Amino acid sequence: MTRIVIVGAGTGGVVLANKLADELHAEIDAGEVAVTLVDESPDHVYKPTFLYVPFGKKTVADASRPLSELVDRRVDLRIGRVTEMDTDAKTLGFEDGTSLEYDYATVATGARLTPEAVPGLVEGGHHFYGPEGAEALRDELAAFESGHLVLSVVGVPHMCPAAPVEFVLMADEWFRQRGIRDDVDITYTYPINRTHGLEPIAEWASERFAERDIRAETFFNAESVDPEAKVIESMEGTELDYDLLVAIPPHDGQPLIAEAGLGDDGWVEVDKHTLEAARAPDVYAIGDAADVPTSKAGSVAHYQAGVVAERLAASVRGAVPTATYDGKTMCFLEAGMDEATFVDFDYERPPVVRDESRPVHWAKLAYNQSYWLTARGTL
């Protein structure tokens, strides 16, 4: 029997598991292949939902569904924390002392937030990149009527790369709808010399910021936060006073990856086209865990899952895998509360930002609603 194990049940892991169950259904039913999906949580979280929670447009409950409702019945679902990966012995070790052998493994462990890496950030800042953070920020925004709102992108790379731009544009319009925009100053900071890592998005965002009186502070690498004085300071020596700090925390990969020798800083070193791990045989990585030169976006994980599913199916059947990932990425960007744009690009094509419109906004909301069908592989 060929044993395929997927570690991590985020977007990439769930989509891959379901695609394999569909592609290899005959082999699985015949007992020739086993597909196992491993995660430490019994629930799947659709993280883009959290952008809407601070504005009262979504709840944390909207972001979560039980994995058992999303994963094909042919997939073995194992809930447990993987603490060790031996790529020579092809085994996974679990926190409870048990182990699991594999013939092929895919690492889809995502990224983790590390706000504690910046002194004072945990105590002095808010974020919307997780359920508790999004709810706490919702409560702070509801009580915020005047003052200085600072959104600081503390480190890159980070999940949902367009979300910080979306947040400040949505906040601007939300304050206007409440009739308090004249009483609120908004500053957006970014670590490099433009407002986003991708130049076309940076140009688009900078134009919108200028139109809406949103100050942009670039070359701002946050070094520390003083929660009592309400000051955030950069490595470059710039200090910003704030009344409400929304900070995109630093992101790291999982310690498991470095400990297994698969890559540095928790990101798996892979071939950017085949997604095969560079440092171990019969291992793939997808989504945020894969160190590829593109965005850490959900669409990337989805497209990569399709490629890896095709490659694994070919290997199981004794064929040479030929499917490759071309860097395809697609992302919606909210331009406020009721208009949005979108970008798509790949390794060869630079991003193109379309004009924002209401129909694109509704398309984004429709996609968010239909995501659960997409994850199941039924759409």
Mean pLDDT of 351-362: 95
Q: Say which DSSP state 110 is in.
A: -
Residues 129 and 161 grouped into a single domain: yes
Residue 369: inside a domain: no
Strand partners, 152: 189, 247
Q: pLDDT, tens digit, for every residue of 144-198? A: 999 999 999 998 888 999 999 999 999 999 999 999 999 999 999 999 999 999 9
Q: pLDDT, tens digit, for every residue of 209-250? A: 999 999 999 999 999 999 999 999 999 999 999 999 999 999
Q: What is the CATH number of the domain that holds 121?
A: 3.50.50.60
pLDDT at 374 exceeding the cut of 90: no
225, 246 contact by CB (below 8 A): no
Mean pLDDT of 79-94: 98
% of the chain with per-residue pLDDT over 90: 96
Overall domain count for the chain: 2
Phi/psi of residue 186, nearest 5 degrees: -125, 130
Which of the four pLDDT bands, split at 50, 70 and 90, describes residue 264? confident
Distance CA(260)–CA(16), nearest Å, equals 22
Residues 77 and 155 grouped into a single domain: no
What pLDDT score does 377 carry? 75
Its domain, for residue 55, covers: 2-111+253-328
Residue 359: inside a domain: no
Residues 260 and 186 grouped into a single domain: no
Residues 118 and 240 grouped into a single domain: yes
328, 347 contact by CB (below 8 A): no
Long-range own/partner contacts, residues 197-200 (CB < 8 A, 24 or more apart): 197/156, 197/157, 197/161, 198/161, 198/295, 198/343, 198/345, 198/351, 199/350, 200/343, 200/350, 200/351, 200/352, 200/353
Residues 154 and 37 grouped into a single domain: no
Residues 123 and 194 grouped into a single domain: yes
Residues 9 and 71 grouped into a single domain: yes
What pLDDT score does 156 carry? 87
Mean pLDDT in the chain?
97
Q: pLDDT, tens digit, for every residue of 46-72? A: 999 999 999 999 999 999 999 999 999
103, 2 contact by CB (below 8 A): yes
Residue 48: inside a domain: yes
Q: Is the peptide bond before 164 cis (omega within 30 degrees of 0)?
A: no
Domain end: 187, 219, 251, which one?
Answer: 251
Residues 220 and 263 grouped into a single domain: no
CA-CA-CA-CA torsion for 157, 162, 168, 170, nearest 10 degrees?
A: -150
For 243, what's the count of Cα atoms within 13 Å in the CB-facing half-sphere? 13
pLDDT at 379 exceeding the cut of 80: no
Q: What contacts 112, CB < 8 A, 6 or more positions away?
A: 251, 252, 253, 254, 266
Distance CA(206)–CA(253), nearest Å, equals 30
Residues 262 and 291 grouped into a single domain: yes
Which of the four pLDDT bands, split at 50, 70 and 90, describes residue 265? confident
